[in-house]
């Protein structure tokens, strides 16, 4: 059994946006009880991450970490035509992930208690982001 | 054909723990000859990685790298309630991976000669970690 | 439906090598119209990444970033027997990915407009790299 659909999210710029509810609804609608749910972000300046979902300070600190690790406007960048936040966005994307696979068990994604699925927008401006969701199994 | 089971590992705190043998045993027991084996760690302060399996110094150096990149007790962190090693554990988890997909060929995971599967515990205290293993194929 | 094959690439040393065409040809040959294409690199000193495919400067800047983050010959490394570029190659591999899953839709990988699949060689010397490709679906 394969169910595939594309979902979009309009971001308000840099930051994290929880997708857990959307993903669980798609899995429920797919009819798959045991299998896998694959998420694929069709962009190279944003990420999909699994992150602690209880304290928003975790995600604030992740931004702080990335601002130090891959700062905007670093003079070492040569790809600068699309703005000071574009090359750091590509680096942050490569350091994290664009696709995630989640196990489906008893008709839901078997996430840990403190695990949420987040889209991490790395560009400072709002963007429309597309995620292809593919649910397979019995 | 889908085989799904959950396996747990009790860590002794920060460090790497090889899972290759456990994974190959689950694949052998699944009866799948050609397909994929998916591993999903249900935690956000540990990782699953593929790493060189011959010289343990590689994994020591990975710890050294992470200690420099995401140090314990960094004054920049605001998520500090769970201890000085908790936020760095979340960062290390996001910089690596929580799920891995391995090809199954001739009834075994077709790893490279020097590739091992490791659970990387990022917390300093011992933890019980759960991994959902899903094997699919023919 | 499962199609599995191994493809090899001879690198000329450190740098990025586009695999998008190879992957799309394998998917087309598999006959799968809706499903997933999994790529698995059987090495721990190279990576598979999704990256912006329009401006090569993006990949130059990624090299610059990694040269700063995990420099060759860092005196902190203890795994040095295989040369000054070996331990940084393992670190770069762990910070990125060795396996990718791409959705297959209408018989092609549904990549974003600016998304390419690249093998990133982290060793300075040429290497032969193997990728196991597994295409599943209807």
pLDDT at B21: 98
pLDDT in tens, B43-78: 999 999 999 999 999 999 999 999 999 999 999 999
pLDDT more than 70, % of chain A: 100
- Judging contacts by C-beta atoms under 8 Å, the chain C residues touching residue A99 are 50, 100-102
Report how far residue A46's alpha carbon sits from residue C32's, in angstroms, rounded to the nearest whole number.
Answer: 28
Kindly state the tokens that stand for B73: 């007790």
pLDDT at A66: 98
C36-56 exposure pattern, b = at least 16 Cβ within 10 A, e = fewer: bbbbbbbbbbbbbbbbbbebe
- Judging contacts by C-beta atoms under 8 Å, the chain A residues touching residue B130 are 112
Which one of 3.40.50.11690, 3.40.50.720, 2.60.120.460, 3.40.50.150 gives the CATH number of domain A2-6+14-40+49-71+81-132?
2.60.120.460
A87-110 exposure pattern, b = at least 16 Cβ within 10 A, e = fewer: bbbbbbbbbbbbbbbbbbbeebbb
Q: ipTM higher than 0.90?
A: yes
Residue with tokens 């994929």: B36
Q: At C31, is the secondary structure helix, strand, or coil?
A: coil
pLDDT, mean of residues A90-107: 98
Q: Which of residues 19-38 of C touch A (CB under 8 A)?
A: 34-36
Give the DSSP letter string of A94-110: HHS-SEEEEEEETTEE-
Its CATH class, for the domain covering C2-137, is mainly beta
pLDDT at C62: 98
Which CATH code fits B2-73+80-137?
2.60.120.460
Kindly state the tokens that stand for C130: 């193997």
pLDDT in tens, B93-138: 999 999 999 999 999 999 999 999 999 999 999 999 999 999 999 9
Task: At A129, give phi and psi (nearest 5°).
Answer: -115, 135
Kindly state the tokens that stand for A35: 């299998």
- Judging contacts by C-beta atoms under 8 Å, the chain B residues touching residue A34 are 2, 4
- C114–A contact, CB cutoff 8 A: yes
Q: Where are the domains of chain C?
A: 2-137
Q: Is the pTM of this model over 0.95?
A: yes
pLDDT more than 90, % of chain C: 100
- At C2, the pLDDT band (50, 70, 90 cuts) reads very high
Burial classification of residue B19, based on how many CB atoms lie within 10 Å of its CB (0-12 exposed, 13-18 middle, 19 or more buried) = buried
């Amino acid at each position: 059994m394969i169910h595939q659909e594309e979902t979009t999210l309009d971001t308000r710029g840099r930051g994290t946006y929880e997708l857990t509810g959307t993903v669980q609804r798609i899995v429920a609608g797919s009819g798959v009880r045991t299998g896998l749910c694959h998420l694929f972000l069709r962009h190279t300046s944003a990420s999909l991450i699994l992150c602690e979902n209880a304290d928003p300070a975790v995600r604030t600190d992740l931004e702080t970490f990335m601002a130090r690790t891959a700062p905007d406007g670093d003079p070492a960048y040569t790809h600068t035509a699309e703005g000071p936040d574009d090359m750091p966005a590509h680096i942050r994307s490569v350091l994290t992930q664009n696709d995630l696979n989640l196990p489906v068990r008893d008709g839901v994604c078997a996430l840990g208690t403190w695990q949420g699925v987040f889209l991490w927008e790395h560009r400072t401006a709002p963007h429309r982001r597309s995620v292809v969701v593919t649910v397979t199994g019995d």
